[in-house]
Amino acid sequence: MNKLSKIKNKIVDRNQLKQLVSGWKKDYQQVVFTNGCFDILHRGHVEYLAQAADFGNRLIIAINSDVSVKGLDKGSSRPIQDEYSRALIISALSFVDAVIIFDEPTPLELIQLLVPDILIKGGDYDANCSDKLNKKYIVGSDVVKANGGKVEVISFVPGFSTSKIEEKIKSSK
């Protein structure tokens, strides 16, 4: 299989991902899950995802679909790249094992389906927050913790965000 095919094969649907996770867990591998838009891949994303991968043996990235991004109040210009392009770029990272695109506002349904061992989010969240109405609450953390898993927060790399990159591009015109 050529390299591009290997990258594309990491992009899976729910049934494929459920089978993968089942096999990984049977082999006692720790499954890590995180999600985001990943609109313009930058250093902050790469450092965050690489650190997330270090928490277990298998890393799943759930990517907000174009429809889902539109509902996140990130601005009318977002997403900048279409969902398949974003998924393909993320799947090219060597430490990523599977990528799935989801349409819902949050990845809760995926987390309930997969029950990862470790759920990871970025620095603006709080792993100990249990108030589902609080912006710092990590969606699905209750599911993961109830099944003996862990929830972790990784600090942001200061100065790196898609919004800042977009602003810089717009101001250079």
H or E segment and range at residue 69: helix 66-70
Residue 24's pLDDT is 98
pTM: 0.91
Q: Three-state SS for 34?
A: strand
Domain range for residue 78? 3-171
CA atoms 119, 163, 47, 53: torsion sign: positive
pLDDT tens digits, one per residue of 31-42: 999 999 998 888
> Which range among 6-20, 31-45, 49-63 shows the weakest confidence by mean pLDDT?
31-45
Q: Which of 141, 160, 147 is nearest to 39 (CA)?
A: 160
Residue 100's pLDDT is 98
Residue 112's pLDDT is 98
Q: How many domains does the chain have?
A: 1
User: In CATH, what number is assigned to the domain containing residue 80?
Assistant: 3.40.50.620
Give the gyration radius of the chain's Cα atoms: 16
pLDDT, averaged across the chain: 91
Average pLDDT (129-154) is 96
Residue 162's pLDDT is 61
